[in-house]
Structure formats: structure tokens, C-alpha cells
Amino acid sequence: MAIVHDHFQREQAEPLLPLLTARDPQRIVAWRHGSAVSAAQFLAHVEQVAAMLPEAPAAVNLCEDRYAFLVAFCAIAQRGQANLLPPSRAPQAVEEVMAAHPGSYALGELALSPAPHGYRKLPELDPNLAAVSAAVPAIPAEQLVAIGYTSGSTGTPRANAKSWRNLTASSAGTQAMLRAVAGERFNVVATVPPQHIYGIEMSVLLPLLGEVGVHAGRPFFPADVASALAEVPAPRVLVTTPVHLRALVAAGAPLPPLAAMLSATAPMPPELAKAAEQAFGAPLLEVFGSTETCAFASRRVTADADWTLYEDVHLHPQPDGTMIEAPQLDEPVVLADIVSLHDAGRRFRLCGRNTDLLEIAGKRASLGDLTRRLLAIPGVEDGVVFQLDEADAAGVCRIAALAVAPALDEAAILDALRRAVDPVFLPRRLRLVDALPRNETGKLPREALLALLG
């Protein structure tokens, strides 16, 4: 690469890690507009974009096209800058992140109006562009390359910084897990945005660090998913979420042959996993992780309730959650998840979250299980049970629920819940809505739930 940040020159003793694994310059990195994009073409585009970037500490990567995001991600990193990944692309969320990082700018492939302050539009990525240098760029292992934000499903979004070493180490476990079912080389179609850490891991890191090609689109409707899958050769891996998978199963339309389906961002109901495997003839894998930790375990829901840890990951149960040690972490992280360990600590079963567990009148339940029972009611298309902030006269924070159920009323839903849960855990407030306020990955920001409840 011709462009090297001055900071890199001062830190030559620091280990360097490549931004792209490409023994063959013709290795396919992406599929865009029906054509394959080689590693050589990709490096030329990275070089082109890096040359136009200003000096700055960080940039908000707003690219919607997944290939454009991939190019911008590497160009920003190559300039010694960090990719800022706000919890959403809503103007207010973008402005808040930029305000938290003075001197930053925004980058995208679309002409936005209104556009964030200092917004720069990517040039056209010419498929015939030739790279000035044939060398694969490398950057310091500890360089900060991304700052991701939690979704806000449990409160205010929090920033999480990732070095290139952090992300490279986290990708090793994911690659090993997928190679076991899809082989050394495969192609990914993802329904999740690349800005989310799950999207980063499965549709950015995989094509950068593995023998993987990624489809540039982000298909949403079932027909679009089928079309995107048809545009890439087998073996194919569909990266998705429970919400998107439920829509695919409900549509009943066939998909091109899959080597595997991959899900995260929310618990996968076993019934949905079984239906998806029957409908699409491929194993459904679920990955466990967070913005703080990246993925560190996986399972096949229809075969096992327990999770298998990635290599060199260790869990340590704590009174308030679980401490995690993993190659991608600079120091141990404590998550709110409560687990029980099995098989000499290599496998675990999720028992809930300390923020998910309820105790009312001496009885215990979990919000996750209550939500599962709500969704199991015939006629309920979507729903969630959550705890309110305010306490009643007895000091108990009561439970509320939102449900999408066009053919039912509140009384019918409550009657069905009475047959499934203890009366103390019935929602004191239940509201029927047209749709839940899910974000791009299917998660439910708490503020949006409270606003919809009114």
C-alpha cells in the first residue's frame, strides 16, 4: 500500500497483521452486481478510497452496500483510523457518536440528504481499476480499528473498542466452526447489517481472513434472500437472525441448497430451528457472544441444548454473571449471563441472565421463558415480555408485554398465558401493536419498547 500513516512508521517494532488473507490474487472476496470481485480488485479499491480520506482519528462507516463497507473498513484502518459503528444509522445516533469522537467524519457510498457533518461519499468502485501496489496491506496488531456499540436492548448503548488483533483472534474460532460444516471455502449471504458486531464477524472478517466470498447485498424479504443466494455458488452459508428466519419459514418458498444457516442476536426457539432445518435441508448453527466479547461459542440447537466453547476460551461463573477469558480479549470480561459448566468446562448451558431473572412473591421466572411462552400462543406473530422500571407499593417492578396478534385481543392472550405461567408473572400491562420496534438485527431497544407501551 502506498499510503502509510506516520504512526505506523514510529511503531515498526510492533507486530503487523495483514488486512487480507490472499495467497492467490484471484481469490474471490465478494460477489457484487452478479460478478465476482477478486482480491486484487479489492486491494485496488481499498487503495483508491484510502487516498481520498482526510487525516482524522476516526470515521463513521455508513456504507449500506456490504462490499463498499468492506472497502471503506479497510481503507479507514489503513489510514490508522478507527471505524465508528453507531447502534443505528439514524441521524441522531450518528451525530451522538461523532460528538463523542471529536475530529471524526462520516463515509458512505450514497448521496445522503441531510448528511452528517463532514460527510464524504465514496468514489465509484470501478471493477477494472488496477492496484498501484500488489502488496497486501498490514497494520499494527494493536491498532484500534473499530468502535462498536451495544444495541441498547438493556439500556443506553455502550462503546466497545476493538484492535485488529482482537478481531483477528475472534475470527479464528468462527472460521473453525464453519469449516467443520461448510468446508474450507464457501460463500456467505447475510441479512444483518455490517455495522453490527455480528455482521462484522460473519460478513466482514470472514472474507478478509478466510477463504470466503461474501454477497454485497443485505436482502430483507424472503424472495430477495433466495435471489441473493442464487447469485453465489455453493457451498452457501446464510447468516441471519431468528426474526428473519421466522419470515423465511413462514413464506414457504424454497431456497437454493445451503451448507449451513447461522443465527445470533436473540435466542433461537428450538421449534423454529427444527422447522428451518426441515424447510431448507441444512443444519442451523447458533453462535453465542456479545459486542463486548465477539463470538466465543456455538451449538446446533436441534441436536444439543449445551454450547461448545471456541478453542482457548474459558468461563468462570460469578455471583453476578460469568467471567470470560478468550484470545480476542485484552482482559477478562464479565457478562450478565448465568451458566452451568459441563465436560471439564468445555461446554456450558445457559441458565438466564441476572437482569433476566425475576423473583416475585417468593417465586422465580425468567423474562426469556415468559417471552417464549407468549410467542407459543397460536395467533401471536411476534411479542416480548419485559420488566418495567417503576416499582409498585410493594417495591416490585411489574411486568409488561407487547404482542403482534391481528386475530386476537388482550383478553384472549392473557387467558392463554394463565394456562402457561404462574399468575404472579402475568403482564400487568399488555398492549397489542402492529409491529415491534426491532432494529436492523432484530433486537428491541428498551427505550423504544417503553415508548411503544406508552
Tell me, what CATH number does 138's domain have?
3.40.50.12780
Check whether 416 has a pLDDT greater than 70.
yes
Residue 392 and residue 287 in one domain: no
319 found inside a domain: no
Candidate from 92-101, 158-167, 210-219, 394-403 with smallest mean pLDDT: 394-403
pLDDT in tens, 351-388: 877 667 676 655 667 788 888 889 889 999 999 998 88
328 found inside a domain: no
pLDDT in tens, 310-328: 999 999 998 888 999 999 9
356 found inside a domain: no
Please give the pLDDT value at position 352.
72
Between CA 450 and CA 387 the distance in angstroms is 10
User: Which residues does residue 348 pair with via DSSP β-bridges, in sequence order?
Assistant: 307, 341
Average confidence (pLDDT) over 222-242 = 96
Please give the pLDDT value at position 6.
47
Residue 294 and residue 383 in one domain: no
Higher pLDDT, 113 or 58: 58
Average confidence (pLDDT) over 439-445 = 80
pLDDT in tens, 68-85: 999 999 999 999 999 999
Average confidence (pLDDT) over 35-39 = 94
Q: Helix %, strand %, coil % for the chain, to 5?
A: 30, 30, 40
Binned at pLDDT 50, 70 and 90, residue 114 comes out as confident
334 found inside a domain: no
Number of helices (H), then strands (E), belonging to the chain: the values are 13, 27
Q: What is the dihedral of CA 65, 71, 72, 76, to 10 degrees?
A: 160
Residue 171 and residue 74 in one domain: yes
Number of domains in the chain: 2
Please give the pLDDT value at position 153.
53
Residue 283 and residue 375 in one domain: no
Beta strand 236-240 with 260-263: parallel, antiparallel or unpaired?
parallel
Binned at pLDDT 50, 70 and 90, residue 11 comes out as very low
- Ordered DSSP codes for 288-306: EEETTTEEEEEEETTT-SS
Between CA 123 and CA 199 the distance in angstroms is 24
pLDDT in tens, 160-179: 999 999 999 999 999 999 99
CA distances from 437 to 233, 293, 406, 433, 451 (A): 35, 25, 16, 10, 10
Q: The domain that contains 388 carries what CATH number?
A: 3.30.300.30
Q: 272: domain range?
A: 1-304
Residue 118 and residue 248 in one domain: yes
Please give the pLDDT value at position 447.
86
Please give the pLDDT value at position 81.
97
Q: Mean pLDDT for the chain? A: 89
- Total number of residues shown for the chain: 454
Q: Report the half-sphere exposure of 392 (CA within 13 A, side-chain side).
A: 10
- pLDDT > 90 fraction of the chain, expressed in percent and rounded: 63
357 found inside a domain: no
Domain end position, chosen among 263, 289, 304: 304
Check whether 129 has a pLDDT greater than 60.
yes
Stated pTM of the model:
0.82
Higher pLDDT, 380 or 266: 380
318 found inside a domain: no
